[in-house]
Amino acid sequence: MAITAENAVASEGLSFEESFRLSLADRGIYLDNAQEAALSTLSLLVTGGKKGGWIKSLFSKDDKRGVYLWGEPGRGKTVLMDGYYELVDTSKRRVHFHEFLRDMHQRMALLSGSKERFKIATKEFCEGIDLLCFDEFHVHDIADSVFIGKVLEALLSHGIRIVATSNYQPDGLMPDPVSHERFKPTIALINKHFDIVHLDGKQDYRTQHEIDHSCFFDPLDARTERAFERLFKAMEPQTTIEVCHIEVANRWIECHAVGRKAVWTDFDMLCKAQRSYVDYLDLAEQFEVLMLSGMTARSLENPNTVKRFLWLIDVLYDKDKGLVLSSERNYEVMLNNASGVDDLNRTLSRLHEMSRTFKSPLP
């Protein structure tokens, strides 16, 4: 049921906030104090269901255009944003931040001969949208950071309302000291145009259940190899396990086996090699389950390898894809000992949740 500014009260006499709580309660979700405060802020950004129909509120008074939800992993940021997205009746789009960057870069590549390509690509993306929801707004790449500032400014100039989630407060974005200085104008833009909401609850709701180890295997021995073979055959009974190649983002990847829904490849092939979130988005769009074997402590000594693994988990989690992982030792111990890790808590939280949602076909 979509809730608009006009029908929120009329719908069984419920306000937007009451309707929001009811929709979550149907799934057994109840808001804590920090989430209630975030809901109060989100409720101010309700649309009347037509272009230009945004409710006049503190956002218009203070030149605000959106809500920036930040906090530790598992505090309900995405649940709040998705619940808001489902209920609000307007022209809208919800994207993972990596997916958005890929979309914009692809649009600009198609316009490579135009001096106005950025302006045209942004206008095309904004066409007909009143609300844009960004999941996992975070920046670690200096090349992306400059681009993001331009895009964000353009979105705001088009009158797009934005809801974003992040593990970082705005002043903590782009944490590298040298790069952070260059990103300060974008941070100032966020602080000026967004209402900043900190979800500071103590509970990581993803880890309140026991982890299911049916998709995590260690050590890297013959027993683990046989377990991977059995699992792949259970998911893909008509597929032969043999070395083959698939095309991902216009490049080839060697795999142990490729089925209709599952693919099995090596950790080094996806994370040690020069890959980007574009590769991982393409992979997630081709398959339902990724089987990744051979994560070693030596591989994790390279901060870039760790960074790519974290990107991979972000994409798989956001696309609701399954992961099966084999590692030299317990994956959590290995990641905690890895070099140059940013956002590790988010990754561990997401791996925990992914283990619960993966449905192993083995008895």
Q: Which CATH class is domain 16-203?
A: alpha beta
Q: Are residues 29 and 36 in contact, defined by beta-carbon separation less than 8 angstroms?
A: no
pLDDT, position 64: 65
Sheet holding 322-327, edge to edge: 216-217, 322-327, 289-295, 262-266, 257-258
Q: What is the mean pLDDT of the chain?
A: 82
Q: How far is CA 201 from CA 24, 172, 194, 262, in A?
A: 18, 19, 21, 37
Fold of 207-357: Rossmann fold (3.40.50)
Cα–Cα dist 223/237, whole Å: 20
pLDDT, position 297: 92
pTM: predicted TM-score of the whole model, two decimal places: 0.67
pLDDT, position 208: 54
All residues at 6 or more sequence positions from 15 whose CB lies less than 8 Å from its CB, including other chains: 8, 9, 43
pLDDT, position 242: 94
Where in the sequence of the chain do the CATH 3.40.50.300 domains occur? 16-203
Under DSSP, the state recorded for 41 is H
Give residue-wise pLDDT tens across range 231-290. 999 999 999 999 999 999 889 999 999 999 999 999 999 999 889 888 999 999 999 999
pLDDT, position 340: 66
pLDDT, position 362: 65
- 190-210 CB burial, b ≥16 within 10 A, e <16: beebbbebebebeebbbeeee
Residues of the chain whose pLDDT is less than 70?
1-13, 46-64, 140, 203-213, 339-342, 362-363
Tokens representing 270 are: 């996806």
pLDDT, position 174: 83
